[in-house]
Structure 1
């Protein structure tokens, strides 16, 4: 569930972040109306608590995957909840790229595609990796929450076999697994961010 949602979030969030940066007033192709419209929609979804979004999207989830219960169904609201989150993080990383580098590529006749491929993405990569790491950790947290309403995963296991059966040992095991998973993801993210840091 976490891996599928993470991949979909990266696939959807990064292009949206690029779009927001490119269409910003000082971007490569300014388009203020489009920029504000997409930004407004992203802000709306970021403002909705996940548990409310989970319930509100039941019809959409049922339409897309044929059911509103289970691991596959949980991926839909998880992805819709985390794409706006990662989009804003990625947008910040992309905006921090040195404007002088962009202007230098422009002066040499580089196209917008070249600037995106050779300047924006490589220079922002450490920040993008760190942001995606934080997003993956968020996904683990809210996927555990989704498990409490039958979405499967560790949250469902903890509630059904730990809390409802008064098995504190099972709850403890789930907590340890979550801590190990999050620590491992954070370590890997930090390592990759340092590795690809060109500064």
Structure 2
């Protein structure tokens, strides 16, 4: 068994706590992103060119808002919405506070990925559902979403992987998690071996999430 001499019991406990905080931030953020991003993607699809009910007055403002959030660097977004974070989480530091900007950034990111997945569905399937008298809501929920499911799962996987990086970045402003541990011990206390360990753990996180996501996509496509 390989042992790491610099990982004292105290530091090991800190590493486990930081890993749990990172997992918590990523999972909660992506759940919020899916809950908000999917309706946004369905709205963008429906009101866009060639959609079920084109409406530029609805499509453009939603698109502009999503693009504005996506184009803002995450570290700047975190600082810019500090008042909103305090309003929602009651604080601007810590794991709970980091979830707010993480969820906001991932919602904009995943909404566009979901929209792309929906647009990849064969138009013939939509037209067939229309010909059978399906309503717009039925087409969206019972035709488009099931047909686009592999793409939607792949989008969630990409978002999860991105969130791992974002959560590490949140450590720069006291967001908790592995990023915070790496900065406090690896950088500020001049312990490069701790920083290297944090990087390895983050890589393992990403590999695990990507593998699970790829497996789910393959299972759904077979069905």
TM-score range normalised by the length of the shorter chain: over 0.9
**Equivalents in 2 of 1:103, 1:11: separation in Å?**
27
TM-score by length of 1: 0.96
RMSD: 1.2
Q: Runs of 4 or more off by more than 6 Å in structure 1?
A: none
Matches within 5 A, 1:94-133: 94-133=118-157
C-alpha separation between the residues in 1 aligned to 2:215 and 2:158? 14
| CA distance in structure 1 between the aligned counterparts of 2:81 and 2:222, rounded to whole angstroms | 41
- 2:15 alignment counterpart: none
Task: Determine which structure has more spread, i.e. the larger CA radius of gyration.
Answer: 2
Deviation at 1:132, TM superposition (A): 0.8
Alignment-derived partner of residue 214 in structure 2: 190
Report 1:1-199 matches (<5 A).
Answer: 1-197=25-221
Q: How far off its partner does 1:198 sit?
A: 5.7
Question: In the TM superposition, what is the alpha-carbon distance from 1:77 to its structure 2 partner?
Answer: 0.9
CA deviations over 1:5-29 (Å, ceiling 9, x no partner): 1111111111100110011131112
TM (norm. structure 2) is 0.86
- Alpha-carbon distance, 1:66 to partner: 1.3
Query: Structure 1: where are the runs of 5+ without partners?
Result: none
Aligned length: 199
Decide whether the 8 Å contact of 1:123 with 1:198 is kept in 2: no
Residues 155 and 48 of structure 1, relative CA distance in 2, 3 Å threshold: same
Q: Structure 2 stretches of 5 or more lacking a match?
A: 1-24
